[in-house]
Structure 1
Amino acid sequence: MEIIFLLAGLIIGGTAAWFICSYKNISRAVVSSEEHEQIKSELNTAQNEKARAEERNKIFEAAQKQLQVELTEERNKIVEITALLSTTKSEHKNVQLKLEEQKADIVNLQEKFSKEFEILAMKIFEDKSTKFTVQNKENIDSILRPLNEKIKDFEKKVEEVYVSDSKERATLFQQIKTLHELNQQMSKDATNLTNALKGQTKTQGNWGEFILETILEKSGLVKGREYTVQESITTHEGKRFQPDIIIKLPEGKTLIIDSKVSLNAYERFVSSEDERDRAANIKEHIASIRNHIKNLSSKNYQNLYDTKSLDFVLMFLPIEPALSLAIQNDMNLFNEAFEKNIVIVSPSTLLATLRTIASIWRQEHQNKNALDIARQSGALYDKFVGLLDDLKNIGDKIKATQNSYEDAMKKLSTGRGNLIGSVEKIKSLGAKTTKALPQNLLDSVEEDELNEL
């Protein structure tokens, strides 16, 4: 770049010098007025060329300075990065050196302790060689073993720290890599979702139904008990309907929710920067919502269950900002929908409504449980009274049985001619027997009866 500027300067200077010399030579000679004017014009042209060349030179110099500044900044960045890399390498090298030093210290410490205890053992052996026994050897081992174990534990901990540090660095690198991949995947998924929602109407409808089911799961209502999804209903006329959600209410009432997605015009409104296009997109967006209201009203979902259904149907719009935009630009949407027995709800208002219904169901279940508890408590009390009566009867029967038992035992062992005395008398008369009556029964026989035996 400097060589170019130098060559440009030399050319401009040479041209100017040539014109000046030519002008001086002409002034000395006798020339005509026309030649004089021509020379003067050429001189002016040369001066203008010189001025333009100087201006270009200034531009070149400014550009050179700017490039020089940028080059300096890039060099500074390279220097900083190089310094950072050097610092990182230096720190890594220092860590490696410290680990090597610690390992060397451990080895030296082991050698030192080994030598010292070898000397100590030799001294003890020399001083008490005549009294050396297995017990002395065990005593030395008991002294050396704990210290040796501590040294091994210390070496193990140092090795664990080194391994752990290496694993943590590898884990950190893997986590950063995973985070990067996750970020790319999230961006890809967001793009795919946006493209999908911009595409087919069926895809938009499925997405709206997914959002609706997600809100239902968070509401506290139980699927299959308090609400059903995509339940098929056939009317008396043979027409088949399949509402998105049917909410069951106490006393057999029902509430129907149908999801509608109006996205295309709203997406164009958000993406557009031209005010005319945005105004047109708003009108198209409102018209799309009106069309959803009209189509849903024509199905008369509120009459599917005759008197069991509420007088209105909830039309769910999953994109809350889209609904807010439509209401801000047309306040009559709510009234028009309500006149057609439709209430427009967004995710926030629907969730509040569903949680209110869930609270009503909880109260209903509690009331039902209270009635069941009262009924079961009464039945339990009646059974308890019956059990007491049965126990009393059993006690009376046990008492009667005990009395009968005592009377029977008295007949066996008391009174003249009791059975025990009689059969024992038969034995004493010489009857051959292989068994004897229990002594406690014989003891219960009256003394007079035994004397007769």
Structure 2
Amino acid sequence: MEIHWLIIAMVTGVFVGTAVTWLLCRVRITTLNEQYIATQQDLANTRADLDLKSETVSQLNQVIVRLETTLEHERKTTYEKLNILNDATLKLGDAFKALSSEALKSNNQSFLELAKITLEKYQTEAKGDLEQRQKAVEHLVTPIKQSLEKVDTQIQELEKARQQAYGSLTEQVKSLIYTQEKLQSETGNLVKALRTPTVRGHWGEIQLKRVVEIAGMLEYCDFDRQQTVTTEDGRLRPDMLVRLPGGKNIVVDAKTPLLAYLDALESTNDDQRLSKLRSHAQQIRSHMTKLSAKSYWEQFQPTPEFVVLFLPGEMFFSAALELDPALIEEGAKQHVILATPTTLIALLRAVYYGWRQEQVSENTRKISELGQELHERIATMVEHLTKLGGSLGKAVEAFNAAVASFEGRVLPSVRKFEALGAGSKKEIEELTPIDKNPRVLMEIQGEHDTRIC
């Protein structure tokens, strides 16, 4: 028995672990796909920005080329002017030499000096203009150079981030493939375990108990294995008895027809899979017929005229119902209600609601009994208080009569003793009659009030 429970615990753990691992893998794949799509979108945006910046750089390069062309043209023009001026100076000097050296000596010297000054001034202006043009070109080129450097840096960073992202994605995909292979292995082990009749039976009972826990009905469900009935056909032992308010019961029997269903899942041929699913539906119908023949509702009285056939998985029932839609109707005719975890939870919750109403009714009855007992005790106490009130009234009347007698007959004689000097130092206090009567109690009888004197 301990080995059976150990196998059940292992199978349940493997099943739960498999389901959780599958869900985690599915969520992880969805997250990785979303990250991959986001990375692709960022890469596309970066490429678009890079194309725009490349176009800007191309335009700026064209501007630089035009500026350099203009600068070169200005340089050539300046050199040509200087050459022309030099040629004119040489020609002018030769012309003056041809004249009388004596007559034009001073004028020639002055003209040469003036020409020299003019030439130096022109060269200075041309040089300054050339430096300004160079500075202007540098001023235009420097921002472009800086922008290109920034673009290059961003491209390198994006490429590095892309490589890291793809590297991480590759590792995650490898991990996912390993997890998937492990999941397939564990699933295969689970399928092998569920092919064992004993394991299937215990798994069905565990699922049944889990459904009861979810519905909060453990208090009202019996899983006692000794709950058996001996008939002419043998011993009947249901898997669970659901206790109803009023002392009635519902019999639940768990079945796990999985062989044909598991064979259908493993089939690669559509015709073979359809044939296995038909066998699965036939197995459920056979269990239903056998369970109807046991007539549990006659053996476990009082109980409704039906028994619940519990299938521990929604997929088992839906697969059979798809190929045999008359299962539900046929089960109703045979007094067998087919239930999956979802429908059984709904049934048990309805029964739980009935128990809550039963508790409310029981509490109401107890409150009514307590109210009657309290009313009787209060009535008895009122009787005693009424008697006490009557006694107090008589005591007050007797006290007032004693005070009147004391004041009318005893006190005058005492005053005479005092007048004769036979009194004591202690004064006699004045007695005051009691002019209050005990409060009248009210006794409620039906809807009318009557006074009790």
Question: What is the TM-score of this pair, normalised by structure 2?
Answer: 0.47
Q: Relative contact order: is structure 1 or structure 2 higher (C-alpha 8 Å, sep ≥ 6)? A: 2
Work out which of the two has the higher radius of gyration on C-alpha atoms and give 1 or 2.
2
